A and B are shown apart, each in its own frame.
Chain A
Amino acid sequence: MIAIVDYGAGNLNSVKKAFDYLGADVMVTDQPEAVAAADKIVLPGVGHFSSLQALNRTGLREALLQSTGAGKLFLGICLGMQWLFDGSEECTEIAGAGIFPGKCRQFPSSVKSPHVGWNSLVIQEGSRLLRGIAQESFVYYTHSFHAPVVAETTAASEYGLRFAAAVEQGNIFGVQFHPEKSGDVGLSILKNFCEV
């Protein structure tokens, strides 16, 4: 069972729909117990970093940290990936999970923000999540803040600067783009997560 974490941020339908389409066993839940009981966890999210405050209020943060610490497979999408870092300049009062180092920042003023649309990936070899995805594949983004390129970055995109498109360390995966909205490429990535 894959648990999609509902913390009131945005619209979880499209993520669930994509897993349904792949025939995966998924549920949407806002209960820490259900998250703890799931085999795999997806933390989606669009919008403002401050909406992650809900994780702290509801006990979901503890459940997520315990599960990831215990080796459970975790996929953060968009804001869900940014949560894996130390924090974000978008809302400095809220701490991220600190699994990856550094803070999310705004794009430079030389480019339009938000970054909306399809951009290409430069993929590092050896990623389990991006297995079989061709170099320069296009994925769909919609975000104003970006995570830094760190040692665990498995794919990057360019928009005014080079930023982390995907990160991976052991059981923990994150993608800044929206695999549920990235056509066949995105569906292949979600299928990889189901099969890891």
Chain B
Amino acid sequence: MTKRIIACLDMDGGRVVKGVRFKNLRDAGDPVECATAHARNGADEIVLLDITATSGNRRTLLDAVRSTARSLFVPFTVGGGIRQLDDAAVVFDAGADKIAINSAAVRDPTLIGRIAGRFGSQAVVVAIDARKVDGSFEVFVAGGRVPTGRDAIQWAREAAACGAGEILLTSMDRDGTQSGFDCQLVRAAAEAVSIPVIASGGAGSARDFIEVFREGRADAALAASIFHFGIENIAQLKRELHDASVPVRWPC
């Protein structure tokens, strides 16, 4: 069984963008081109997140999902703005294999079970944005703007019990900083749940990935900044992981 390398595309108004700690967005290209280029380079999965998720942007997002899905033959997750079962159904219909839900699941955890009941648990990723506050990790919603007072590890456990298929765990403190994953956060979640945990936030080098797979016990690791701006080529990254005896899909 291999560790997965997931390329994440944050989308705003039809373009892929990337910020630092959820702010200062930079343009990173066209979603269809980015997704297929990452897949060609060896990405094991693609995640597309609509980071603004306003109603005006909805059609743009669905168009991007449709055209990306047409030529993408690795697992494809779409998140952002999914508030109810019907929103999820529309995104699946456009060609997503999995959906990611965040704020809406915190507001109503039964949404997880309702989507899983219709599309299967394997299709439901619960995304958690966590920030270190007084030594523990707190869940933030609404794109990291609103603190919830909830403990991230406890929430991961609850989401898994509700029928989530995977947890996508983002360290807000590390997001976009390229200073390494938060292995303490990831490991706590990976040991708390039996479903796969995807580590996110902070990827900067091959060493960071090796560390989060070994120390953090992550099942998969997600990155955006480093792949978009060509700092770390996915094929090169996988070769380095392979050389370090981390099992990855290589050659692919």
Give Cα distance in the complex from A180 to B92, angstroms: 15
Which chain B positions have C-beta within 8 A of A182? 73-74
Asked if A11 and B252 make an inter-chain contact with CB atoms under 8 angstroms apart, the answer reads: no
**Contact with A21, one of B71, B97, B196, B249 (Cβ below 8 angstroms):** B71
A17 touches B (CB below 8 Å): yes
B75 on the A face (CB < 8 A): yes
Q: For the complex, is B69 an interface residue (Cβ under 8 Å from A)?
A: yes
**Nearest B residue (CB) for A47:** B120
> Does A115 lie at the interface of the complex (its beta carbon under 8 Å from any beta carbon of B)?
yes
Does more than half of chain A's interface fall in helix, strand or loop, or is it mixed?
mixed
CB pair B95–A138 under 8 Å, yes or no, is: no
Query: Within 8 Å of chain B (Cβ to Cβ): is A53?
Result: no
Say whether B73 contacts A10, CB under 8 Å. no
Which residues in B have their C-beta under 8 angstroms from that of A112? 194-196, 219
Chain B contributes a number of interface residues (CB within 8 A of A) equal to 30
Residues in B whose Cβ lies below 8 Å from that of A9: 120
Min distance, Cβ B88 to any Cβ of chain A, angstroms: 11
Find out whether the CB atom of B44 lies under 8 angstroms from the CB atom of A117.
Answer: yes
Interface of B is mostly: loop
Q: Mark B13-52, 1 if CB is under 8 A from A, else 0.
A: 0000000000000000000000000010000100000000
Does residue B175 face the partner (Cβ distance < 8 Å to A)? no
B252/A10 in contact, CB under 8 A: no
CB within 8 Å of B: which A82-141 residues: 111-120, 138, 140
Type the 1/0 row for B227-249, where 1 means its CB is closer than 8 Å to any CB of A: 00000000000000000000001
Binding site for A on B (CB under 8 A): 1-4, 39, 44, 69-71, 73-75, 92-93, 95, 97, 119-123, 165-166, 194-196, 219-220, 249, 252
Mind listing 20 A-B residue pairs with CB under 8 Å?
A9-B120, A10-B119, A14-B69, A17-B95, A21-B70, A21-B73, A46-B122, A47-B121, A112-B196, A112-B219, A118-B249, A119-B2, A138-B249, A140-B75, A142-B75, A143-B122, A159-B1, A181-B97, A183-B73, A187-B73
